């Protein structure tokens, strides 16, 4: 089987994105799994090569442009910007770079939708720069959903020991109870079950968390468990989904991390990301479920404090590209 082409978006050039991409593409495992195509800026990528000292060189290509048999020492780059030194200054996200980042993501989505790329993997972006450039999105996930026309989507964070999917994503904590609805919980369970079953584990067992401490303590701390979450879990079970809950978050993760569940459905962002990052701070992967394409990402931000030092870990970028490639291979075999 031909190795899948993975479109890799460079992310914010003021952060560690270019550096972790270079480090990841120097990894023999990644080159053995897929054909990487970076979408980004030549100056930022050349700078990253110099900083990391990776034994690689850039080759600019148009379209797919990546040969089936990868020669050693080459990073294939599709240039989609011509940023100045001021635009890519470390730790100082610029409007120009924010607009370029949008183009990288849009092009990767187009390649995937057209079947020219098998999947996309994204380096971290600056939401501030993206919004300053006029692209008003709270994050990658919402932008990807719009670009692909996905009505229902789920953010999942994954590592070898734990997978968590989120009912709500980037929301103020005060707004979360009103957003945890029967339809939203049931949709998250369905999408999580479908894509875990397809790409990760057949017939997965899902744990669904409570919103309130101690599952609301019989209504003493809240009624969302009895009025919203339990009915959604019951409906999912009637559809043949192996889901249990609502379960208390303060104890559930011990059992999930020890393999009793294949994924945990969480009600809000930090409920899932705190335990995930405790276990998988370096090698966690962000996967967007429910899209018509495969998208993975690093599970960290731009790390401006490390940008330019060459010390940023590439473990999450390696894991994201690896997961994208393996998901693409499974999809091709269906």
Query: Under the phi-then-psi rule, with left for phi > 0, alpha for psi from -120 to 50, and beta for the rest, what region is 224?
Result: alpha
Which of 78-87, 161-170, 212-221 is predicted least confidently?
A: 212-221
Percent of the residues in the chain that have a pLDDT greater than 90, as a whole number: 88
Q: How confident is the model at residue 72 (pLDDT cuts 50, 70, 90)?
A: confident
For residue 236, the tally of other CB atoms under 10 A from its CB is: 25
The structural domains of the chain, with segments of one domain joined by +, span 1-150+291-334, 152-290
End-to-end CA distance of the chain: 13
pLDDT digits (tens, 9 = 90+) for 77-128: 999 999 999 999 999 999 999 999 999 999 999 999 999 999 999 999 999 9
- Specify the DSSP class assigned to residue 88: G
Give the chain's radius of gyration (CA, Å).
Answer: 20
Mean pLDDT confidence for 141-169: 94
Taking the C-alpha atoms of residue 209 and residue 220, their distance in angstroms, rounded to an integer, is 17
Instruction: Please tell me the pTM assigned to this model.
Output: 0.92
Q: Is 140's pLDDT higher than 90?
A: no
1-150+291-334: what fold?
Isopropylmalate Dehydrogenase (3.40.718)
Residue 138 has pLDDT above 90, yes or no: no
Mean pLDDT of 5-34: 96
What's the CATH class of domain 152-290? alpha beta
333 or 68: which leads in pLDDT: 333
The whole-angstrom separation of Cα 124 and Cα 316 is 11
pLDDT band at 63 (very low <50, low <70, confident <90, very high): low
Higher pLDDT, 220 or 231: 231
Cross-strand pairs, 157: 164, 286
Q: For residue 206, list its beta bridge partners.
A: 243, 263
């Amino acid at each position: 089987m031909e190795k899948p082409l993975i479109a890799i978006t460079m992310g914010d050039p003021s952060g560690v994105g270019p550096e972790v991409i270079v480090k990841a593409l120097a990894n023999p495992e990644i080159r053995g799994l897929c054909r990487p195509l970076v979408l980004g800026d030549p100056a930022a990528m050349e700078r990253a090569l110099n900083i990391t000292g990776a034994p690689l060189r850039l080759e600019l290509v148009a379209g797919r442009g990546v040969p089936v048999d990868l020669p050693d020492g080459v990073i294939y780059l599709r240039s989609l910007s011509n940023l100045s030194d001021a635009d890519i200054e470390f730790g100082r996200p610029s409007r120009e770079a924010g607009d370029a980042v949008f183009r990288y993501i849009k092009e990767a989505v187009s390649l995937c939708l057209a079947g020219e790329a098998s999947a996309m993997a994204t380096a971290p972006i600056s939401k501030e720069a993206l919004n300053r450039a006029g692209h008003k999105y709270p994050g990658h996930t919402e932008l990807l959903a719009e670009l692909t026309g996905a009505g229902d989507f789920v953010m999942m964070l994954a590592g070898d020991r734990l997978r968590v999917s989120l009912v709500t994503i980037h929301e103020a904590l005060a707004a979360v109870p009103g957003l945890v609805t029967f339809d939203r919980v049931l949709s998250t369970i369905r999408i999580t079950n479908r894509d875990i079953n397809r790409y990760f584990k057949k017939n997965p067992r899902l744990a669904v968390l409570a919103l309130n401490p101690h599952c609301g303590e019989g209504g003493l701390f809240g009624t969302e468990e009895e009025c919203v979450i339990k009915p959604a879990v019951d409906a999912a079970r009637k559809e043949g989904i192996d889901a249990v809950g609502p379960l208390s978050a303060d104890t559930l993760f011990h059992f999930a991390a020890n393999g009793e569940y294949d994924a945990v459905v969480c009600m809000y962002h930090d409920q899932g990301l705190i335990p995930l990052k405790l276990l998988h701070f370096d090698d966690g992967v962000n996967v967007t479920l429910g899209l018509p394409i495969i998208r993975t990402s690093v599970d960290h931000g731009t790390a401006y404090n490390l940008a330019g030092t060459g010390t940023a870990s590439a473990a999450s970028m390696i894991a994201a590209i690896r997961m994208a490639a393996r998901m693409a291979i499974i999809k091709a075999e269906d």
